[in-house]
Structures are given as structure tokens and as C-alpha cells.
Amino acid sequence: MTLLDVENLWVKFPTRQGIFDAVRGVSFTLGRERLGIVGESGSGKSMTGRAILRLIRPPGIVTADHITLEGQDLMTLSERDMRDVRGQKISMVMQDPKFSLNPVMTIGDQIIEAYRLHSKSTKAQAYDKAIAMLEAVAIRDAARVMRAYPHEMSGGMGQRIMIAMMLIPNPKILIADEPTSALDVSVQRQVLSIMDKLVTERGMGLIFISHDLNLVSEFCDRVLIMYAGRIVEVCDAANLHEAQHPYTRGLLNSLPRLDAPRKRLEVLKRDPAWSEAPSVGGRQ
Amino acid sequence: MTELTIDNLNVWFGHGRDRVDAVKGATFSVEKGESFGLVGESGSGKSTILRAITGLVSTWSGQITVAGKPLGPKRDRAFYKTVQMVFQDPYASLHPRHSVDQVLGETLYLHGLGDIDKRVSKLLDDVGLGGKFRFRYPHQLSGGQRQRVAIARALAGEPEVLLLDEPTSALDVSVQAEILNLLTDLREDRGLTYLMVSHDLAVVGHMCERLAVMKGGEIVEVMSADALRHNQATHPYSQALLQASIGG
Ligand SMILES: Nc1ncnc2c1ncn2[C@@H]1O[C@H](COP(=O)(O)OP(=O)(O)O)[C@@H](O)[C@H]1O
Ligand SMILES: Nc1ncnc2c1ncn2[C@@H]1O[C@H](COP(=O)(O)OP(=O)(O)O)[C@@H](O)[C@H]1O
Ligand SMILES: [Mg+2]
Ligand SMILES: [Mg+2]
């Protein structure tokens, strides 16, 4: 079932040298699945995620034939209606939780405030819900965490708290932009398995943005590979290692591997044709 | 011949109740021309070891010996001719208003070297940048190019030892491959000794002959990269780290 349908999405920035196209005619659908978006920095991954939520700040310009969520074209919504979509239907988790949480408010107060913004409830109900949310993201001593301030949390805890906050309105779609890039591998796995559970148990759609090919291949169902604002290849995550596009192959081959030692690593040779070719469709 | 010896190194920050023991009893040595890795979770004390060696942290005890000379509390000029460090974030370590030419020229001057013009252009060639980057400023360079400048600066005094702290962690994998190849070539050409910190076991496996696994400030295991590749870590923590990084 399709949750989100994006058709011909462009993100443009006026610069002194003329218009810079950060995202160039990208189309894809998202079902109840884990959809990965990978590519080098600057390839347009974050701008794609933000554009869906219409979070591109002026002078940036977003155009699309449509961005349809449950039959409703987000492109036609007022800013006010869009705010409801952002809170209730689509949530976004950013790379660094430190910049997303309010440093002078306890974590409990932040979660309770977020919850009461979305549902008419008493403080006590909101408190219980907040505890349940923290437990859902595998935080054991939830009552203590509620009283703590963001700076008292490790990176992995902070990221789990962010995910808990994003889940409060029970969104249909979670967009996670490099949610684990700042975390140690062991903590990374915990955060991933929490998101995984949410997709399976709640039937959520997940857009997982990452520069880490191995991670995406392991964790996602489908992957869009972006280069210079375009989708150059779409594949099943499990088959990412058999990807065909020379860009994807180049990225894979440039990784050092414990199981295949070699003296020098393969270096990516860029072909101008990669950025000129039209975007590949990411429809399911 | 041994180039670098760390013997029972302790490093701490703060006093009394606030004291953090960042490195506890670390011991290892690196042969001349060898590349040695330090791995472990963030906060395990990897960078602190490098910072104690270069003199960026002075609250340490134990013994550090470089090229046969035990280090005291202060580092002299000769030390920095022997040992240089490259950091993860080259943007933070390059002065925003100094051109590449100024950065390298000044470093050469501080090392007391002559013929600066010729040396700057040689350094740029050695790190694969070439003359057209000479008068650029950091913001006009990509992440990989900045890291090349940082490496050129480290090479200016013709050191024997490079301390590399996550030198490619902030870079895309394609650019990482270029920088790691450069480091491989430089070590071979100049017989350099590397002490390299990384959270990426595959990077350390690729670059180093041996490595130490750190946890909570302590070295739990020293092993060869071959042992790492063949899944022969003996300490449970190293095994867990390896498991988490190869997945499954
Ligand atoms: N405000 C802006 N003005 C001009 N260009 C921008 C602006 N914000 C982002 N860009 C450019 O858009 C491109 C895509 O950025 P982004 O989506 O953040 O990349 P990614 O997330 O894949 O690293 C980059 O080349 C970036 O420099
Ligand atoms: N300047 C400092 N003051 C206080 N504590 C510090 C300082 N630098 C590092 N630490 C602490 O020392 C420990 C080891 O840090 P570090 O060597 O940076 O770890 P790693 O490089 O393995 O991530 C951490 O607990 C860190 O918080
Ligand atoms: Mg991004
Ligand atoms: Mg460090």
C-alpha cells in the first residue's frame, strides 16, 4: 500500500552563479517499508527529506507535480495545514539530537508538552504516555530520564528520546536523516532495531537517509541511490552489493573490507553523464 | 627498531570528585615503519593517548618514548620535527583566513627550513593537490582537499611519525579511499610510522599491521590485523566490537 507518492520533485536555490538545483526531478513512492536513500554528501538526500515536509527555507524553492499523502497533495496545503501534517502524520529525526532538544527543559516536560500539543489529555495521562513512549524505545529507567536534561544524556540515549518524541502522535511516516551517524556501532544497532520494530508493529513507512551503504543494505527493504540531485539507481536493499550503476559500484568498491584485503583502495572515477542522465523512478 | 613506546600511561582530567581517568595503564609499542591502530567506542580514550603524546594534555604519568628519547612534560621543537598529528576535522584545524600557501609556508618557516617556495610546491604535489590550490582558502576546498592540506602541513618538517586521529571519518567513502591511498603511498615512500585512531575496524584492518582495542580507558587487547580479519579476537569486548561492525 502506498503511503506517500512523490512526483518530479525539484529543490532549487538561487545563487550568485544562477539557480542551483539541489534535487532534480525525483519521483518515488513509499509503502509500509524501510526505504533507504544513500549517496555522497551534497547529493540531495536531506533536501529530499526536508522538501517532503516543506521544510526548505527561503530563498530555496520546492516544486513538484505532486507529493501525495493519503490522497492529499501536500504541495497544495496552507502552511497552517502543513504544520498539522508535520506534527501528526510525518515526523522527522535529525542526525544530532542535541540540536533538536531544548537544553533548558527536562526531557519529561518536553515529551509531555509534545504530547499535549497533539491530544487533549490531562498532565497525568500525558506523563503515563511519555513513560510508555520511552519504554517503547528501550529506555529502562524511564522515570529518571524524564527528570533529566538533554546534556545529561549520551548520544544514543538522546537519539532514542528524539525517536520517542517523534512517535507520540503515531505518525504514518518517519523520515530519519542520518539518525545513527554520530553513534557507536553497538548503539547504532539498538536504535535501528527500535525503528525496525516500529515499522513492523505499527505499519509505519520509514525513509532512512544515510551515507553508509552497508548499513542501508542490511537495514532497509529498498534503496534509492542519489547522485547530484538525481536518483541514479533503485534496488532491493538485500541486492545492493550487486548494484549495476557505475556510481553505486564505485562507492561499494571504495570501501575497505576486512574479508577482502588489498593494498590500495579503488578510487571512484566520476562520469559527467551520471549527473546528466534523467532521474530513475523509485516507484514500487 | 622501536619508534614509539607507551608504557603504563595514565591520563586524567580534572581534580577530586570531577576527576576523569581517561587512560589507565596503557602499554604498547610501535615499530619503525609500522602502522598501529587504536580502536574502541567513543570516549574510550583513543584521542587522549594521541594528545598526551603530542603534548596537548599535560596531566599524565607513565613513560612515552619516541625515537629512543623519553618525553618529559614539555615538547621541544625537535619533537615536532619527529612527530606530527592529523585531526578528524581539517576545517577546525586550518585557520579560515590563511591560504594554503600561508599555512604551508609558515609551517616550513617554523621548522627552520629554507627554500620555502620550492618546498610548498613540492608538498602540494606530494599530497596530490598541485599548484592550482596554492592560493585557495579553506572554504574554497572540499573536505578531502582540506585533509590533503592538513597532511601536507604535517609532512612539512619531514617527520618520522604521524598520529592520525580519525583522519577520514568526516569524509565520503570515495574521498576516504583517496586519502587512505595517499597515506599508504606516503608511508611506503618515506618509511613513516603511523599511530592511527579510528572507530571503523575495516579502515584499521586496511591501514594497520597491528591494533589495540580500548574500552573505558584501558587496552583490553593488542592483536594483529590478520587476527582481526580471521575473527580471532580473544577478549569478549573485541569480539563484540567486531561482531557489531560486521553486522549479523
Ligand atoms: N541554502 C542553500 N543554498 C545553496 N545551496 C544549498 C543550500 N542548502 C543546501 N544546498 C546544496 O544542496 C545540495 C544538497 O544538499 P543536501 O540535501 O543537504 O545533501 P546531502 O544530505 O545528500 O548531503 C548540496 O550541494 C548543498 O550544498
Ligand atoms: N579536556 C577534557 N576534559 C575532561 N574530560 C575529557 C577531556 N578530553 C577527554 N575527556 C574525557 O576522556 C575520555 C576519553 O576521551 P577521548 O580520548 O576523546 O575518547 P575517544 O577518542 O576514544 O572517543 C572521555 O570520557 C572524555 O569525556
Ligand atoms: Mg544530509
Ligand atoms: Mg576521539
Burial zone of A145 (CB within 10 Å; 0-12 exposed, 13-18 middle, 19+ buried): buried
Compute the half-sphere exposure of residue B46: CA atoms within 13 Å on the CB side of its CA.
26
pTM: 0.91
CA distance B148 to B139: 14
What residue of B is the nearest CA neighbor of A248?
B174
Q: Given this model, what pLDDT does residue A157 score? A: 84
Q: How far is B171 from chain A (nearest CA, A)?
A: 9
Q: Given this model, what pLDDT does residue A169 score? A: 78
CB-nearest to A211 from B172, B228, B247 is: B172
Q: Which atom of ligand 1 is nearest to the CA of A178?
A: 21
Q: What is the DSSP letter of A282?
A: B
| B244/A211 touch (CB, cutoff 8 Å), yes or no | no
Q: Which atom of ligand 2 is nearest to the CA of B45?
A: 17
- pLDDT band of residue B247 (cuts 50, 70, 90) is low
Mean pLDDT of A153-159: 81
Cβ(A214)–Cβ(A255) below 8 Å:
yes
CB-nearest to A256 from B174, B205, B241 is: B205
How far, in Å, are A272, B20, B138, B165 from residue A15 at the CA level? Answer: 22, 48, 20, 36
- Region of residue A18 (phi > 0: left; psi between -120 and 50: alpha; otherwise: beta): left
Among A193, A194, A228, A192, smallest CA distance to A210 is for A192
- Residues touching ligand 1 (Cβ under 6 Å) are A 13, 15, 20, 22, 39, 41-47, 60
* Helices (runs of H) and strands (runs of E) counted in chain B: 10, 10
Among A128, A221, A219, A111, smallest CA distance to A167 is for A111
CB neighbour list of residue B246: distance below 8 Å, 6 or more residues apart: A258, B201
CA B233 – ligand 1 centroid, Å? 42
pLDDT, tens digit, for every residue of A87-117? 789 999 887 766 678 889 999 999 998 888 8
pLDDT, tens digit, for every residue of A122-148? 989 999 989 988 888 878 889 999 999
Choose one of B6, B11, B13 to mutate for the ligand 2 pocket test, by most ligand atoms within 8 angstroms of C-beta: B13
**φ and ψ at A201, to 5 degrees?**
-80, -35
On whether ipTM exceeds 0.90, the answer is no
Q: What residues does B60 pair with on adjacent strands?
A: B11
CA distance A191 to A185: 10
- Residues touching ligand 2 (Cβ under 6 Å) are B 13-14, 20, 22, 40, 42-48
- Cβ neighbours of B239 (radius 10 Å): 15
Residue A105 cell numbers, joined: 527543559
Q: Given this model, what pLDDT does residue A97 score? A: 65
Mean pLDDT of A237-257: 95
Q: Which residues surround ligand 4, an ion (CB under 5 A)?
A: B 47
- pLDDT band of residue A264 (cuts 50, 70, 90) is very high
pLDDT, tens digit, for every residue of B77-126? 899 999 999 998 877 788 999 999 999 999 999 999 999 999 999 999 99
Strand order in the sheet with A34-38: A90-93, A173-177, A205-210, A34-38, A222-227, A230-236
Q: Which architecture characterizes domain B34-47+74-213+220-246 according to CATH? A: 3-Layer(aba) Sandwich (3.40)
CA distance A227 to A42: 8
pLDDT, tens digit, for every residue of B38-48? 999 888 999 99
Protein residue with its CA nearest to atom 26 in ligand 1: A42
For chain A, the average pLDDT equals 91
Residue A22 cell numbers, joined: 539541489
Q: How far is A228 from chain B (nearest CA, A)?
A: 14
CA B60 – ligand 2 centroid, Å? 13
Protein residue with its CA nearest to atom 19 in ligand 1: A42
Q: How far is B62 from chain A (nearest CA, A)?
A: 29
Mean pLDDT of A55-65: 95
**φ and ψ at B226, to 5 degrees?**
-60, -45
Protein residue with its CA nearest to atom 10 in ligand 2: B22
Q: Hey, what amino acid is at A166?
A: M
Using the predicted structure, report yes or no on whether residue A273 has a pLDDT greater than 60: yes
Nearest bound ligand to the CA of residue B59: 2
Q: Given this model, what pLDDT does residue B248 score? A: 45
pLDDT, tens digit, for every residue of B217-242? 999 999 999 999 999 999 999 999 99
- A259 contacts in B (CB within 8 Å)? 229
- pLDDT band of residue A150 (cuts 50, 70, 90) is confident
Q: How far is A37 from chain B (nearest CA, A)?
A: 15
pLDDT, tens digit, for every residue of B29-77? 999 999 999 999 888 999 999 999 999 999 999 999 999 999 998 999 8
Mean pLDDT of A8-28: 95
- A185 contacts in B (CB within 8 Å)? 199, 241, 244-245
Per DSSP bridges, beta strands A18-30 and A66-69 are unpaired
Residue B11 cell numbers, joined: 591520563
pLDDT, tens digit, for every residue of A201-214? 889 999 999 999 99
Q: Could you tell me which CATH number the domain at A87-220 has?
A: 3.40.50.300
Percentage above 70 pLDDT, chain B: 98
For chain B, the average pLDDT equals 94
Q: Given this model, what pLDDT does residue A98 score? A: 66
